[in-house]
Chain A
Amino acid sequence: MVYRDRGKTTFSLILWAALFAVLLLALTGCGEGAWNNPHPAAERDQNTFYSSFSLRPKHLDPAQSYSSNEVVFTGQIYEPPLQYHYLKRPYTLTPLTATELPRPYFENAQGQRLPDDAPPGQIAFSVYEIHIQSGIRYQPHPAFAKDASGQPRYLGLNEADLRERNQLSDFSDTGTRELVAADYVYQIKRLAHPRLNSPIYGLMAEYIVGLRDYAKTLGEAMQGGGAGQDRYFLDLRKYPLPGAEVVDRYTYRIRLHGEYPQFVYWLAMPFFGPIPVEADQFYSQPGMKEKNLVLDWYPVGTGPYMLTVNNPNRQMVMERNPNFHGETYPTEGEEGDRKKGLLADAGKPIPFIDRVVFSLEKEDIPTWNKFLQGYYDASGITSDSFDQAIQVSSQGEVGLTDTMREKNIQLSTSVAASTYYMGFNMRDPVVGGLSERARKLRQAISIAVDYEEFISIFLNGRGIPAQGPLPPGIIGYQPGEAGVNPYVYEWVGEGPNGKLKRRAISTAKQLLADAGYPAGRDANTGKPLVIHLDSTGGGPDDKARFDWLRKQFAKIDLQLDIRSTDYNRFQEKMLKGTAQLFQWGWNADYPDPENFLFLLYGPNAKAGKNGENAANYENPEFDRLFGKMKSMPNGPQRLQLIHKMVDIVQRDAPWVWGLHPKRFSLYHAWLKNIKPNDMANNTLKYKRIDPQLRAEQRLKWNRPIVWPLVLTAVLLIVGFIPAMIIYRRKQHSRGVQ
């Protein structure tokens, strides 16, 4: 009996020891290196960039993808004809697959060519002829695979063929082919595809000749061919589009209605990247969609990277495209770039990084800690981690904390080409309209809402107060005294020592009294003026902001009523034009003032017209100037018009101008060539990693500390001793004394 018990004890000891060994092996990843490394040990010295994503991308089809978390991928895979220069500022377009920047020529209504300086009234069409480079090849992809007879290897697949194929990598054969102009035309046609719902279809249908009719034609073709092959694959080559035509193998032509100089910026977005018909045909086969094998999830491009793992539930991996046509790092940039080391790699072939791993991280805390441990190469700064990362000196200078400096972490800051504002509904009988009364009321509120304070309290100083709709980096933005909004601010001091100063509350109160609301009460009725703000917030985080806002209005004796609602109800109100005051924002699509000033263009009103002019602002003079400015080439004349337009809206104050956010990002010393670029979305190819330095630092920062585990075990054993004594005593005690 005794021996059997001992045997049992020995057996359980061996079992526990084995379990402990397995756990230890698992902990160490069966090899050397840090135990807490979330990446496989084999990747330790590899030239891999590690990043994260918090929201899985909805679309990777360039006709549909528009969100910033999607272009992180599509921007590296698809190559539109143009791109933004990585280093130059102001933002400059350069050719990507095009041989040169396209210059439009103009035609009249009869299709006759007009001189370049033809008056805008005569111009019926703008024509862009784009020549692309020869010899560019697509990434290896099964859609291009051919069998021995030269026929597509994976076309006409049946259910049995697809049974064992769940991912793209399950198709063993791949192929490639040269990029041709027809691929670009094919993609332009896809913008009108009824199945795709491209977000820019509405806008492009206004400009690209025949695109609206083309969508109808495709819709009819889909209905008519519902029972046939068109049910799955609609061959767009069969349906010509007058606004997009192939000229020759390497040239295509886009014809637009009227003048639209901003169109070239669209040519730098993945919307205008190439799509090979083979890919569309491949993914449109029956049974593919059911396995999520669609172009929307497995993009096919010519760019420096290709998506090799697409598991948006966990990880997305891009690898260097072996067929990439090659490019070199820019040899020139902005003043100061050389000093910052941004031109150290000038002329070297890109991309530098072999592999990019994006891991799903839904929470900020783990993401931030992994960055600090060196497992992510770069990071943003959330409000929670701001104090840990950034310190602001008494002079207001922003710098890194000692902890960050010890790790040699670098800080990069830039003002985003974005504007966050508080808009007045210009159709509202109280705050809206162009009357002097309403104007003064809006100006008074604009003075009262102290955005400098907001930036300081809620954004940790990450922003600059806006003076108008245009953010820095956009033509027409004026820094310093020249750009001051005189209705809200004054400029005090001279030269470089001068600074902005918000006008006094007494000025705001006077404006309010002039508007007919002395001491915040209607002069006629004596009732207090209540302003209603519609907001999508309502959580605990928003409470402090709302309290702050109420305080701002109270400074001029106005009452602010905040009506919290969900985003969809809010959208509905905006579409109906029933909100009075609202908060909104806009990120630049392209670096042209038109992309911001159109937010105030009358015919573009949100209410009734579903435009982007959320304030429903309508000033005939502004609208006239906008129509003129929109189609003008950049130059002093255009700049003058832009300044005039900004003056008008500063005076009318349809928005409380709000702020332009400042982006802070951190990156480790081993990550090179970092320069914030708000316009370009294909910047991964310029980044460089020093994997050796990273491996050393990771090891240094993450040495496992085991002694607390041993101590805990010892304490547990010690703690058990009295219990064991009681147990033995109890077992050996007599039942009856």
Chain B
Amino acid sequence: MLAYILRRTLYAIPILIGVNLLTFWLFFVVNSPEDMARMQLGQKRVTPEAIEKWKKERGYDKPLLFNAEAQGMGSVVDTIFFEKSVRLFVFDFGSADDGRDIAYDIRQRMVPSLALAIPVFLVGLLLNITIALIIAFFRATYIDYMGVIISVMLMSISALFYIIGGQFLVSKILHLVPISGYEGGWSAIKFLILPVIVGVVGGIGSGTRWFRTIFLEEINKDYVRTARAKGLAERVVLFKHVLKNAMIPILTGVVVTIPLLFMGSLITESFFGIPGLGSYTIDAIRAQDFAIVRAMVFLGSVLYIIGLLLTDLSYTLVDPRVRLS
């Protein structure tokens, strides 16, 4: 297994270089270093000298990908791409364009992101699986039909509607929790209740429908019939046998998302004023801060690769027949 992990880790390097190159290209297609300088220096009374100085101080005065004036390796090394990318591979994210340390900000913002994402993930998973199993249990009854109709309806509603509707109903009309905001420690709970509910409710439709399909597929298999023939209660058949055997498709979709919980939620964090990594990324895109965008995309890619690796590893845990080699 170690060899497998090592091989997958080595595969990750060209993927990360590719992602980095793509981010770099996409970013500089729409922004030039001059644009970035202008964005940072403001719009009023900015001189060309100030723009040049800003670029020079941050290393944006060099060619983007290829330095025709340099000799040998210098033509590749003495470029913005190389200088800005190579440090990422040792997780040195450097400073944002406004001078703030990116690693420090990521550390600070990771906690609120996780405080929101983990409950949404766990409660959502538990609820979706439970509802899907119940629907599967009542298959071909009015409960099943209603369940599918409601799921499709819930899926069809925009996430923004859940957020604004939730804020309107729970906070504005019923006055039960704050509309938005965040505090550290236990005080965070009162700010997280609503976004967690919104996150869970927003995901019920698609989650339930997906899990229901998986369970219905399993329910018609021979081992289920055998279990029933043994005289096991339907509850035991579903929660013990079907759930266990449905774990591979569930893990495929679920484990890969676990590391990405660190990245936060873009819209929810923004609307609920949660200072997490999702809003950090959005702010950076708006501010044309390449340093942060690059760091966050890189981090996201690394986490995604870790997620895929964990998914593979998790197969061996739930299905002893799977061997990684």
Contacts and interface: CB of A to CB of B under 8 A. Distances in A.
Interface of A: 22-23, 26-27, 29, 34-38, 40, 56, 58-59, 66-67, 166, 194-195, 197, 199-203, 289-292, 294, 296-297, 311, 313-314, 359-363, 365-366, 369-370, 372-373, 375, 566-568, 571-572, 589, 610, 612, 702-706, 708-709, 723, 726-727, 730-731, 735
Contact of A35 (B35, B175, B233): B175
Given A362-B270, A610-B47, A727-B137, A35 B53 contact: no
A58 B41 CA distance: 9
A40 B183 contact: yes
Most buried by B among A29, A37, A292, A704: A292
B101 A292 contact: yes
Given A313-B105, A568-B31, A704 B190 contact: no
A571 B99 contact: no
A37 B138 CA distance: 43
Nearest to A57: B98
10 contacts: A23-B193, A35-B190, A36-B171, A40-B183, A197-B54, A202-B47, A289-B99, A359-B273, A568-B39, A723-B143
A363 B175 contact: no
Contacts of A22: 189
B141 A373 contact: no
A678 B270 CA distance: 30
Nearest to A313: B275
Contacts of B109: 313
A382 to B, nearest CB: 14
B118 interface: no
A366 B182 CA distance: 13
Given A36-B176, A199-B42, A292-B104, A369 B273 contact: no
A340 B96 CA distance: 47
Contacts of A40: 183, 187
A184 B314 CA distance: 65
B108 interface: yes
Given A296-B99, A313-B109, A726-B141, A203 B45 contact: yes
A36 B38 contact: no
B178 interface: yes
Contacts of A723: 134, 138, 143
Contacts of A202: 45-47, 49-50
B138 A726 contact: yes
Contacts of A290: 101, 104
Contact of B53 (A197, A203, A313, A366): A197
B121 interface: no
A704 B50 contact: no
Given A67-B42, A294-B99, A366-B271, A27 B193 contact: yes
A194 B53 contact: yes
Given A56-B283, A369-B172, A705-B173, A201 B179 contact: no
Contact of A291 (B53, B101, B271): B101
Most buried by A among B45, B168, B228: B45
A296 B233 CA distance: 68
A366 B275 contact: no
B218 interface: no
B175 A314 contact: no
Contact of A361 (B171, B190, B273): B273
A274 B248 CA distance: 66
A190 to B, nearest CB: 15
Contacts of A311: 108, 275
A199 B42 CA distance: 8
Which label, helix, strand, loop or mixed, suits the secondary structure of the B interface? helix
Contacts of B183: 40
B167 A365 contact: yes
Contact of B44 (A199, A294, A296): A199
Contact of A26 (B45, B168, B193): B193
Contacts of A314: 182, 273, 275
B101 A704 contact: no
Contacts of B275: 311, 313-314, 360
Contacts of B234: 727, 730-731
A84 to B, nearest CB: 19
Contact of B181 (A38, A313, A372, A708): A38
B81 interface: no
Given A26-B193, A313-B108, A199 B46 contact: yes
B172 A373 contact: yes
Contacts of A201: 47, 50
Interface string B256-292: 0000000000000011110100011001000000000
A366 B174 contact: no
Nearest to B46: A199
Interface in B225-264: 228, 233-235
A313 B53 CA distance: 28
B186 A26 contact: yes
B321 interface: no
B45 A702 contact: no
Contacts of B42: 66-67, 199
B34 interface: yes
Nearest to A22: B189
B18 interface: no
A363 B270 contact: yes
Nearest to A703: B175
A34 B175 contact: yes
A605 B178 CA distance: 51
Contacts of B34: 568, 572
Nearest to B191: A38
Nearest to B98: A58
B108 to A, nearest CB: 6
Most buried by A among B44, B137, B181, B270: B181
Contacts of A195: 57
B15 to A, nearest CB: 30
Contacts of B173: 705
B177 interface: yes
B278 to A, nearest CB: 11
Nearest to B169: A708
B30 interface: yes
B178 A36 contact: yes
B176 A369 contact: no
A726 B186 CA distance: 42
Given A26-B193, A199-B50, A37 B270 contact: no
Contacts of A289: 99, 101
